[in-house]
Chain A
Amino acid sequence: MSKMSKDEINRLIHDFNAELSALSQAVNLVNDKFEFDKILARRMSSLMPAKMDEILLNWEKIKELLSRDLN
């Protein structure tokens, strides 16, 4: 990974946090909608893996940055 600026690192961490919150909010909504709107709950659930992939990807980047800084 090429060297990231301070702004880019902040952005990466902020995106990671925002995606986690978005996922958490969506999980809560799936819970709310589960009984009353199963179609919507299913649609939201199907979108969650992609969101988790993004989160994992960002997490990998952060992990790499941290290990690089430690080394």
Chain B
Amino acid sequence: MTKKHSALIVEDDELSRITLSCLLEGFAATEEAADSVSAIKKIEAKKYDMIFIDLDLERELAGLEIIVKARASGAYTIVLSGREENRYIQQAYERGCHDFLSKPFDHRALELVIGKFNIIKGQAQLADMFSYEFLTQDNNLIKQLEILAELSAHNRPVLIQGETGTGKTMLAKLIHKFAYASLGNFVHLNCSEIPENLIESELFGYEKGAFSGAEQSRRGKIDLANNGTLFLDEIGTIPLSTQKKLLKVLEEKTYYPLGSNVLSKSNFKLISATCDSLEELVAEKKFRADLYFRLEGINFYIPALRERKKDIPLLIKHFQKEFPRKVVFSSALQNFLENNNWPGNVRELKKVIELLLVKSRGIVDIVDLPGHLLPATIAATVTTTTTTLTSYSRAQEAEDNRDELLSSAIINKVESEGLAAAINEIEKKLTLYFLERNEFKVRKTLTELQISNNYFYRIKGRGFLPEGVPLED
């Protein structure tokens, strides 16, 4: 392991200094100071990541003064002391120490402190990541990060809730990166994408011959996540029968792969995510209450994009930057993008920006929006215009009472090209909308549209996909 951190050990007992230095081997490059004068000199001359301070040095409680210096230097400050009286512990914390280890301390206590240090150090980086990658200025969302410091101290699972497209998977990956990456792999399973009858084999794996078609043994996600992180996305869609088995794995860390009578073990950190309300699913008896309580540990809620609209300009800029070809958005388009409600959240906004960026023109306008947004835009324009009128005609009244499905764009299309052309257009636009929403996964789109393969390819043959957009099975 590379020594990526630096630590100063302030301790008057040489044997204890060497022992601690050995215990920190592999984690930090250590330096030693035997008294407060040399400790202060070292702290002033160099910036350390961690400083361990014995309270009693050349004189009793001399370490208290060093705590202040250590904190001011920005180091993670840990007091080591044989003193267990509350008044000394309180004084140490009041001077700013991060942790207080009572002597004698063992490996476990030290590991805990190091884990906490890693998280707190990572938090600053994580906050930056949130600014640059997760792209939010939402204080409530950023504040939730503080809870990450708790992750190292125990084995509680993480539950992420938020609407589709808000970035739950991205957050799960970030949590793994900052809290668990040193442990092992990140194994991702989107439970909603796996048919009910296959989910158990995906999770638990199977032995050769376990069921027809099982021509060879296969490891399940739970096994692959051993010593790492298992991320169960859309956990609310897991069938009840599988929920019971999953609960047993979470409680006992043991399970039987399908077709096997050999008990397997897997020790993993669990992160689950859902866009459903698990409380409601429990009330409807679609989700086991005991599993729900087991999943709840550290909870994150990612607000929908419409609840944090001030993030939209940031996100637009970010997605524009990612694209090598530069185009300009007209102010009307920019205004629309910033004020739309984005039911598909960040994912939908990203797809729309990507589609706008491949337009051939250098200045992209509101008319370049994808089909599913265009009627809403026109409707918005119509609404703006009509609010300026003072008198209502009967035609306008009929217009006001119009079914919301019949947008102005559709009516214009029927008026100009006839009903068949309009229906044709609606089919293309709805198909494109669902494809985009499903990240161009054909099978999922077919299921949602409730159409056959042939029908889909007939619509596709009329041409609606931008060039270079790859379809996935």
Are A and B bound to each other?
Answer: yes
Residues of chain A at the chain B interface (Cβ within 8 Å): 7, 11, 14-15, 17-18, 20-23, 25-26, 29, 32-33, 40, 43-44, 47-48, 50-51
Q: Is B16 an interface residue (CB 8 A)?
A: yes
Question: B residues within 8 A CB of A51?
Answer: 13, 15
Give 12 CB contacts A-B under 8 Å.
Answer: A11-B83, A14-B82, A17-B104, A18-B82, A21-B103, A22-B15, A22-B19, A22-B103, A23-B15, A25-B104, A32-B22, A48-B15
Complex Cα gap A26–B20 (Å) = 9
Answer whether residue B284 sits at the interface, using C-beta atoms and an 8 A cutoff. Answer: no
Name A47's contact: one of B14, B22, B82, B85 (CB within 8 Å). Answer: B14
> Given the complex, which residues of A lie within 8 Å of B84, measured CB to CB?
14
Which residues 85-126 of B have a CB within 8 angstroms of A?
Answer: 85, 103-104
Instruction: Say whether B18 faces chain A, with CB atoms less than 8 Å apart.
Output: yes
Q: Please name all residues of chain A whose beta carbon is closer than 8 Å to the beta carbon of B15 when the two chains form the complex.
A: 22-23, 26, 44, 47-48, 50-51
Interface string of B392-404 (1 = CB under 8 A from A): 0000000000000
Contacts of B85 in A (CB 8 A): 7
* B34, chain A: closest CB distance, angstroms: 13
Chain B residues with CB under 8 Å of A21's CB are 103-104
In the assembly, what is the distance between CA of A43 and CA of B21, in Å?
13
Q: Contacts of B82 on A, CB cut-off 8 Å?
A: 11, 14-15, 18
In Å, the complex CA distance between A7 and B16 comes to 24
Residue of A nearest to B103 (CB): A18
Distance in angstroms from A32 CB to nearest chain B CB is 8
Complex: chain A residue closest to B14, CB-CB:
A47
Contact of B104 among A18, A44, A47 (CB under 8 A): A18
Nearest neighbor of B17 in chain A, beta-carbon distance: A47
Chain B residues within an 8 Å CB radius of A15:
82
Q: What residue in chain A is nearest B107 (Cβ atoms)?
A: A25
Residues of chain A with a CB closer than 8 A to B103's CB: 18, 21-22
Query: Residue-by-residue, is B73-84 near A (CB-CB < 8 Å gives 1, otherwise 0)?
Result: 000000000111
Is B104's CB under 8 angstroms from A40's CB?
A: no
**Residue with the greatest number of chain A CB neighbours at <10 A, chosen from B15, B22, B103:** B15
Tell me the residues in window 217-267 of chain B with beta carbons closer than 8 Å to chain A beta carbons: none
Q: Given contacts A14-B82, A18-B82, A18-B103, is CB(A25)–CB(B19) below 8 Å?
A: yes
Residue numbers in B under 8 Å from A25 (CB-CB): 19, 104
Residue of B nearest to A45 (CB): B15
Q: How close is B454's CB to chain A, nearest CB, in angstroms?
A: 70
Can you name the residue of chain A whose Cβ is closest to the Cβ of B105? A21
Within 8 A of A (CB), among B292-316: none
Smallest CB-CB separation from A17: which chain B residue?
Answer: B104
- CB–CB B104/A22 < 8 A: yes
- With A7-B85, A15-B82, A17-B104 as contacts: A22 and B18 at CB distance below 8 Å: no
Q: Residues of A contacting B104 with CB < 8 Å?
A: 17-18, 20-22, 25
Given contacts A15-B82, A17-B104, contact A22 B22 (CB under 8 A): no
Per the bound structure, the CA–CA distance linking A51 and B85 in Å amounts to 24
| Residues of chain A contacted by B83 (CB below 8 angstroms) | 11
Chain B 3-30: CB-based contact to A (< 8 A → 1; otherwise 0):
0000000000111101100100000000
A29 / chain B contacts, CB cutoff of 8 Å? 18-19, 22
Q: How far in angstroms is the closest Cβ of chain B from A50?
A: 8
Which residues of the partner chain B approach A7 to less than 8 Å between Cβ atoms? 85
Give the contacts of B271-304 with A (CB-CB under 8 A). Answer: none
- Besides A32-B22, A44-B15, 13 other A-B contacts (C-beta < 8 A): A14-B82, A15-B82, A22-B13, A22-B19, A23-B15, A25-B19, A26-B19, A29-B18, A29-B19, A33-B22, A40-B22, A43-B18, A47-B14
